[in-house]
């Protein structure tokens, strides 16, 4: 997907909220992004009248939406054309579609100011702020790791937003590791992006921010290209910041030369937030949603479990929605009702022991092996599946889940949950097996 397509796709939700349904459906939704020229997004439509209407009556709203999702492109123009090919013909030149140079969109809301700091994350906050203030000089590379939903992506984008504001001349690139891999594969397959274009894109930046670097696992060609990119940037004192769900030593099938380079910088481990931090996060999120929530209610939600931040915010959103839906004030009683509804009656009846026993029977392993410390693959994977299913099907704190599965800590629970979740995306056999186990548990 090209940069102009990503930009427009990101801006559409903002426009849908700010425009009437008729205006959005009849005008905004019919526009097609075709280019970015001179800091302007170029949109096309088949009607001259439509073009004049959009540029006249909707200019302010579209510009505002663009400014919220991309500080570099805050204006637009509308041309009359059937599609991009027709637009290029009208220009009278042959312009090959270049691969996006801006990377993934940066959420302007993810800043250092909006990042709630507590004991669990004050170290990564300080390290990231130091990197943003002096890129290439302090902690290179900076490697941030921890479970899903603990703020790693937020801190990466906070660095990008800080540099955009205070050092706009720097070339800052934020991408996920999956995007890096896909773009490298495209360059090798002689697509729109050539190998030289790919190298120029990644080796001519001042700051490279890579999310979810654990996806380098088992990808030997990508690892080799990443190694050379990494070496060239660090050698030029260009800043590299990486995030992962685990320590470099725990990334499977990662080349040793990459592992040692990751560990040669500053490693920052982000932990599950403590109670006070969870309450502070919930308070800030409720304020962002323009909804005042009593501290007792926030405390109750925060005490429902020491889960990741994303899960806590999801619970708060459900409660606010339930309040509006039922026209009830937000009280602890409403929270109990809302979370009970979302968990479902069947999940309330389910016990962790039921899940463990079901997995043991399915994979023909003993309960002692599942709960024990053996690291054989035939025991580790069923153990991780147990953890995944308990987190998926039951409303239990991570610490409690760890206790149920052999006294493991919350970090192990997060790692197992996320690993099975990722494996299911690429392993259809595993996904089917887990689906079958769920059916057995729910007696479907």
Q: Delineate the domains of the chain, giving CATH numbers in brackets.
A: 3-91 (3.30.300.180), 122-269 (3.40.50.300), 275-343 (1.10.8.60), 349-442 (1.10.1750.10)
> What's the pLDDT at 189?
74
- The tokens describing 104, both together, are 């993934």
The pair phi, psi for residue 222, each rounded to 5°, is -65, -40
Which parts of the chain sit beneath pLDDT 70? 1-3, 38-39, 70-72, 91-104, 190-193, 305-308, 341-349, 395, 443-444
pLDDT given for residue 415 in this prediction: 85
Q: Which two tokens stand for residue 343?
A: 């968990």
Q: Which residue has the tokens 């994303």?
A: 310
The neighbour count for residue 412, using CB atoms within 10 Å, is 19
Structure confidence at residue 95 (pLDDT): 37
pLDDT at 18: 87
pLDDT at 306: 52
Residue 409 has a pLDDT of 79
Q: Report CA-CA distances (Å) from 393 to 387, 436, 438, 441.
A: 10, 14, 9, 10
Give 140's DSSP letter. S
pLDDT at 97: 36
Per-residue pLDDT, 102: 47
The answer to whether 42 touches 81, Cβ cutoff 8 Å, is: no
The SS3 call for residue 172 is: strand
Q: Residue 355 has what pLDDT?
A: 93
pLDDT of residue 38: 63
pLDDT at 435: 87
Question: 3-class SS at 211?
Answer: strand
Q: What is the pLDDT of residue 384?
A: 94
Q: Which two tokens stand for residue 150?
A: 């603990």
Place of tokens 């990722």: 422
Residue 15: which H helix or E strand, with range?
Answer: helix 3-18
- Whole-number pLDDT of residue 284: 85
Which pLDDT score is estimated for 444? Answer: 54
- Cα–Cα distance list, 29 to 3, 11, 51, 87, 207 (Å): 18, 11, 13, 19, 35
Rounded Cα gap, residues 104 and 16, in angstroms: 21
Residue 387, pLDDT score: 93
CA–CA separation, 380 and 374 (whole Å): 7
């Amino acid at each position: 997907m090209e940069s102009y397509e990503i930009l427009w796709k990101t801006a559409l939700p903002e426009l849908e909220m700010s425009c009437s349904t008729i205006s959005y459906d009849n005008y905004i939704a019919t526009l097609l992004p075709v280019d970015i020229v001179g800091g302007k997004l170029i949109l096309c439509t088949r009607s001259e009248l439509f073009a004049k209407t959009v540029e006249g009556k909707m200019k302010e709203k579209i510009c505002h939406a663009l400014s919220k999702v991309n500080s570099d492109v805050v204006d637009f123009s509308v041309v009359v054309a059937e599609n991009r090919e027709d637009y290029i013909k009208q220009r009278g030149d042959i312009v090959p579609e270049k691969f996006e140079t801006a990377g993934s969109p940066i959420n302007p809301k993810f800043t250092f100011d909006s990042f709630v700091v507590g004991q669990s994350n004050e170290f990564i906050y300080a390290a990231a702020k130091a990197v943003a203030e002096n890129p290439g000089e302090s902690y290179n590379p900076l490697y941030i790791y921890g479970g899903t939903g603990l703020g790693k992506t937020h801190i990466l984008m906070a660095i990008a937003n800080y540099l955009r504001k205070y050092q706009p001349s720097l070339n800052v690139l934020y991408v996920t590791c999956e995007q890096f891999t896909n773009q490298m594969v495209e360059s090798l397959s002689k697509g729109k992006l050539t190998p030289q274009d790919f190298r120029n894109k990644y080796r001519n930046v001042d700051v490279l921010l890579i999310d979810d670097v654990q996806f380098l696992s088992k990808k030997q060609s990508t690892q080799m290209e990443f190694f050379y990119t990494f070496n060239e940037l660090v050698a030029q004192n260009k800043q590299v910041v990486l995030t992962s769900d685990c320590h470099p030593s725990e990334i499977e099938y990662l080349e040793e030369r990459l592992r040692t380079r990751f560990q040669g910088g500053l490693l920052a481990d982000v932990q599950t937030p403590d109670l006070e931090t969870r309450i502070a996060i919930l308070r800030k999120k409720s304020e962002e949603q323009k909804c005042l929530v009593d501290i007792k209610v926030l405390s109750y939600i925060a005490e429902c479990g020491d889960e990741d931040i994303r899960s806590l915010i999801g619970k708060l959103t459900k409660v606010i929605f339930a309040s509006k839906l039922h026209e009830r004030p937000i009280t602890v009683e409403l929270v109990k009702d809302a979370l009970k509804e979302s968990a479902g009656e069947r999940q309330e009846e389910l016990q962790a022991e039921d899940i463990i026993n079901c997995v043991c029977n399915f994979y023909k392993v003993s309960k002692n092996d599942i709960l024990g410390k053996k690291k054989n693959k035939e025991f580790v994977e069923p153990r991780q599946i147990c953890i995944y299913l308990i987190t998926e099907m039951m409303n239990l704190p991570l610490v409690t889940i760890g206790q149920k599965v052999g006294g493991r800590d919350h970090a192990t629970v997060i790692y197992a949950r996320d690993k099975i979740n990722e494996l299911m995306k690429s392993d259809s056999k595993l996904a089917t097996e887990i689906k079958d186990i769920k059916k057995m548990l729910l007696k479907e």
